[in-house]
A and B are shown apart, each in its own frame.
Chain A
């Protein structure tokens, strides 16, 4: 066995392979010490084989212990080793001992989707622990967990499909499987990448898969009949099919008082609209329709723009470039330098740009509102998409002014109505309430 395995793996140096002899009998034994928990290997194999060797007991242990799997297919040996098993050949039979080294033992704190009053635990990069988190909260007999086995994925990461057998739409499950099959031979490193590969059309303007790090969000969607795809090694689970409105709901909406959560939802939609259209509105109002402002504002913009040498759209592009660079810089920078970048960029540069007469003072406000409103969007994928679509509006407003912005907004809504997420309408408001009215005994939960 050892020879075969070594040949298959190209004789790696980090593989420990030995033929062990305890004086009575021999055993061929190999494992990757980096992948396996060395304590488990010691207690499970080495101690029974050496200090307390009893041939009968050892044979019985190999047959009966759950950790030992009978591995009689030589093809699978290498991949088992790679997944963190220890292989041993005893009396002509090969067994795999599952001793995967667990890096994580407790759930991570939430980082991307913070919540004030909700659960604070998030997924880890360990699939089994993630499944545990889901099973703990969604303790239901109808929860299906399927291992999506595929050979053509280079990294061979485990992919799990979770759904509620009674609530999920069968066709959608099938659709998700087809899409997963289509992923092809790719090295999948993160959930976002899988989401991108699973989307029907890569050039879509809006995301059709929701990434979340929160078990409570996952469970809520499972309960609504959504399908969850989990990937080993990723802190995020993929939820599908989702709707436009799911991206703008935070889990806190479910935990906070009614009026407050409604207010926050409204605030989020307003912010989204602002961040989407404000730069374009600035251009179109300043350059095409100044009568839209109140007269005081028009005059003060007029006054503050007097020193600005460039047309309004150049001004907007300068400031948008600055703010985008600033956001990008503060994400990539180490955390302790990040705040310095924000100070330099936000305070000093903004103030100086206005004093130097490069941009008007109103533009500084517009830029800050755009940036801050963008951060209000609870889902980072969605906020990225909004950040990009903003430029479509800017481009249109340069040529067509206010009416162009309105028409583009209309076209965007038409586009959204046309979109489908895994066969289900993307822009529908009350999709679940209708579909599951007959099936559900309980009152269907309204999506926020």
Chain B
């Protein structure tokens, strides 16, 4: 009898200790407002410098193209956290960030203030996923959030599908995740990159990438450069490698690309980037390949190498390091603080060498 009593007591205390485990209180899914994307801009008011824009999903059980409804709410405040708290007064349900996978930083904000303060809020909130996509809105974040893409089946999916390999696999779209941005913000020798989104008539255009130092935008690459960056830094598949020839344009569809960095030491370090690209000719002047298969591969490789070196030097001249050459250098050298100082001093004079092995598998279905 006594043992049963003790057991009952134990059971009761166990179940009591379960009670506070839930964390937040019971709130049904239909009493929550799903935020699908959030944007951060600067406002003109110096007392309330942050403008937070949230795109909220108005859900329905039917899903068809173009049937997604959203509501956009904006609030200016002294900080992001305050803005979000104040925004709650504007809506009838509890804001839920669990499904917010798109965070847009306004271009102006990144040029003026940087993204540190916003990142702090993003990194601290437990309901914000590390795998969220981060991007720059051009000219500002709210214009991106107010765009209503026609193809959108459910709120927020158009932007989400654009990144990663979920939907389209565009070779000039750079995908940047929140966790990676956080890492790049604090890592020595590796600088942040962010894709730039522009809204073009009920659709998004994401074909440029912005390279940042630890705070602000330093360089925005053109679509062509973005693709080269994406191929060499992210090994993105399904890209193209185009080269003008005397007889016409030669376009190779790259199905596989592998790149490897090695930093050769010396008085001035030399960064060697090995790229192996495999693919087939999607468009080319007739009977070009049969004439000189190896020569064509070499020519393509040389062409790509030149372009890449140009890009790398352009990046180097801005004194930013999105590839992480500095990190690579630190990994290969004894990790004293002076090593990093030495690299910082050497970086503007670093030499680049790109070795590209192009492998053409054929000309597609026809010869």
Determine whether the beta carbon of B98 is less than 8 Å from that of A286.
no
Determine whether the beta carbon of B29 is less than 8 Å from that of A401.
no
Cβ-closest chain A residue relative to B30: A305
Residues of A within 8 A of B21 (CB): 400-401, 403-404, 407
Q: Is A179 an interface residue (CB 8 A)?
A: no
Q: Is B334 an interface residue (CB 8 A)?
A: no
Determine whether the beta carbon of A298 is less than 8 Å from that of B34.
yes
Whether A303 contacts B99 in the complex (CB less than 8 A), given A288-B24, A400-B22, comes out as no
- In Å, the complex CA distance between A94 and B28 comes to 80
Partner of A303, one of B19, B26, B61: B61
Residues of B within 8 A of A401 (CB): 21-24, 26
Determine whether the beta carbon of A411 is less than 8 Å from that of B14.
yes
Determine whether the beta carbon of A400 is less than 8 Å from that of B18.
yes
Determine whether the beta carbon of B18 is less than 8 Å from that of A299.
no
Determine which residue in A287, A299, A303 has the highest number of CB atoms from chain B within 10 A of its CB, and name it.
A299
23 A–B contact pairs at CB < 8 A?
Answer: A286-B29, A287-B27, A291-B99, A295-B36, A295-B99, A295-B156, A295-B157, A296-B157, A298-B29, A298-B99, A299-B63, A300-B61, A302-B34, A302-B57, A304-B61, A312-B29, A313-B26, A398-B26, A399-B18, A401-B22, A403-B23, A407-B18, A407-B21
The residues in A between 206 and 257 inclusive whose CB is less than 8 angstroms from any CB of B are: none
Partner of A299, one of B22, B57, B127: B57
Residues of A within 8 A of B32 (CB): 290, 302
Determine which residue in A288, A301, A407, A411 has the highest number of CB atoms from chain B within 10 A of its CB, and name it.
A288
Chain A window 330-349, contacts with chain B (Cβ cutoff 8 Å), 1 for yes, 0 for no: 00000000000000000000
Determine whether the beta carbon of B23 is less than 8 Å from that of A303.
no
Cβ-closest chain B residue relative to A288: B22
- Shortest CB distance B156–A (Å): 7
- In Å, the complex CA distance between A286 and B28 comes to 6
- Shortest CB distance A316–B (Å): 12
- In Å, the complex CA distance between A232 and B98 comes to 61
Cβ-closest chain B residue relative to A283: B26
The residues in B between 17 and 48 inclusive whose CB is less than 8 angstroms from any CB of A are: 18-19, 21-24, 26-30, 32, 34, 36
Partner of B62, one of A302, A303, A398, A411: A303
- In Å, the complex CA distance between A287 and B28 comes to 4
Determine whether the beta carbon of B96 is less than 8 Å from that of A290.
yes
B interface vs A, CB < 8 Å? 14-15, 18-19, 21-24, 26-30, 32, 34, 36, 57, 59-63, 96, 98-99, 101, 127, 129, 154-157, 160
Cβ-closest chain B residue relative to A300: B61
Q: Is A361 an interface residue (CB 8 A)?
A: yes
Residues of A within 8 A of B99 (CB): 290-291, 295, 298
A interface vs B, CB < 8 Å? 286-291, 295-296, 298-306, 308, 311-313, 361, 396, 398-401, 403-404, 407-408, 411
Cβ-closest chain A residue relative to B129: A291
Residues of B within 8 A of A288 (CB): 22-24, 26-27
Residues of B within 8 A of A289 (CB): 98
Residues of B within 8 A of A411 (CB): 14
Determine whether the beta carbon of B30 is less than 8 Å from that of A302.
yes
Residues of B within 8 A of A308 (CB): 30
- In Å, the complex CA distance between A408 and B62 comes to 36
- Shortest CB distance A409–B (Å): 12
Cβ-closest chain A residue relative to B15: A396
Residues of A within 8 A of B30 (CB): 302, 305-306, 308
- In Å, the complex CA distance between A413 and B233 comes to 47
Residues of B within 8 A of A396 (CB): 15, 18
- In Å, the complex CA distance between A361 and B99 comes to 21
- In Å, the complex CA distance between A295 and B154 comes to 9
- Shortest CB distance A301–B (Å): 6
- Shortest CB distance B26–A (Å): 5
- In Å, the complex CA distance between A290 and B22 comes to 13
- In Å, the complex CA distance between A298 and B27 comes to 14
- In Å, the complex CA distance between A291 and B63 comes to 19
Determine whether the beta carbon of B63 is less than 8 Å from that of A301.
no
Residues of B within 8 A of A298 (CB): 29, 34, 99
Number of A-B contacts (CB under 8 A): 98
Residues of A within 8 A of B155 (CB): 299
Residues of B within 8 A of A400 (CB): 18-19, 21-22
Cβ-closest chain A residue relative to B33: A302
Q: Which 7 pairs across A and B sit closest by C-beta, in order of nearness?
A: A291-B98, A303-B61, A302-B59, A305-B30, A299-B59, A400-B22, A304-B61
- In Å, the complex CA distance between A291 and B24 comes to 13
- In Å, the complex CA distance between A204 and B278 comes to 64
Determine whether the beta carbon of A290 is less than 8 Å from that of B98.
yes
Determine whether the beta carbon of A404 is less than 8 Å from that of B18.
yes
Determine whether the beta carbon of B28 is less than 8 Å from that of A311.
yes
- In Å, the complex CA distance between A398 and B25 comes to 10
Cβ-closest chain B residue relative to A402: B22
Residues of A within 8 A of B19 (CB): 399-400
- Shortest CB distance A407–B (Å): 6
Cβ-closest chain B residue relative to A392: B15
Residues of B within 8 A of A290 (CB): 29, 32, 34, 96, 98-99
- In Å, the complex CA distance between A401 and B157 comes to 28
- In Å, the complex CA distance between A265 and B108 comes to 60
- In Å, the complex CA distance between A407 and B16 comes to 13
- In Å, the complex CA distance between A202 and B170 comes to 64
Residues of A within 8 A of B23 (CB): 288, 401, 403
Residues of A within 8 A of B59 (CB): 299-300, 302-303, 306
- In Å, the complex CA distance between A182 and B329 comes to 79
- Shortest CB distance A419–B (Å): 14
Determine whether the beta carbon of B61 is less than 8 Å from that of A287.
no
- In Å, the complex CA distance between A244 and B74 comes to 57
Whether A296 contacts B22 in the complex (CB less than 8 A), given A302-B30, A312-B29, comes out as no
- In Å, the complex CA distance between A306 and B127 comes to 23
User: Given contacts A287-B29, A298-B99, A313-B26, could you give 13 more A-B pairs where the C-beta distance is less than 8 Å?
Assistant: A287-B28, A299-B34, A299-B57, A299-B154, A302-B59, A311-B26, A399-B26, A401-B21, A404-B18, A404-B21, A404-B22, A407-B21, A411-B14
- Shortest CB distance B94–A (Å): 11
Determine whether the beta carbon of B98 is less than 8 Å from that of A300.
no
- In Å, the complex CA distance between A102 and B60 comes to 67
- In Å, the complex CA distance between A216 and B17 comes to 47
Determine which residue in A302, A303, A308 has the highest number of CB atoms from chain B within 10 A of its CB, and name it.
A302
- Shortest CB distance A200–B (Å): 13
- In Å, the complex CA distance between A130 and B307 comes to 87
Residues of A within 8 A of B26 (CB): 287-288, 311, 313, 398-399, 401
- In Å, the complex CA distance between A296 and B167 comes to 14
Residues of A within 8 A of B18 (CB): 396, 399-400, 404, 407-408
- In Å, the complex CA distance between A160 and B23 comes to 55
- Shortest CB distance B14–A (Å): 7
